[in-house]
Structure 1
Amino acid sequence: MPKQDVQQIVHAIAEETNTPEETVAQFYAEAVDGYRAGARILDYVPLFAARKVREALRHHDAGRK
């Protein structure tokens, strides 16, 4: 995936979840690595990783309230 696409995904998640981009980038990279490790088809890895990061950050934010 092109670096620009990753940056756009990270930026969008950071804005949606009010989380620093550095934090989102780290979570996203870990999620992508995790999905790639077991994937035979890589087309949807970015989508699944973004979904996982959003979900994790929403749960994390809900726990702070």
Structure 2
Amino acid sequence: MSQPEPRVDEVVRSIAEETDTPTETVSRMYADTLAVYRQDARVFDYVPLFAAKKVRDQLRDASRRRH
């Protein structure tokens, strides 16, 4: 049984708030990451979750490097 896909706007808003990043930037990063993951995926159930985690981690790492 496949997992329901999270609402993209909710995911983007959440990541933007957590990382203090503009929603436009997060939205672009999320869409790009999602496209890359879907390209090679055999099972799509968790692709949105993995994409959100990658974007969140990238933004947190970038924030740490700035401080």
* TM-score using structure 1 length: 0.92
2:35 maps to what in 1? 33
Q: CA deviation at 1:23?
A: 0.3
CA-to-partner distance for each residue in 1:2-41, whole Å, 9 max, x for gaps?
A: 7xx0000000000000000000001100110110010011
Q: Which has the higher contact order (CA 8 A, sep 6+)?
A: 2
Specify the alignment match of 1:48 in structure 2.
50
Aligned residues: 63
Counting helix residues as a fraction of each chain, which structure ranks higher?
1
TM-score by length of 2: 0.89
Unaligned stretches of 5+ in structure 1? none
Which runs of 5 or more structure 2 residues have no equivalent in the other structure? none
Please point out which of 19, 22, 26 is paired with 1:20.
22
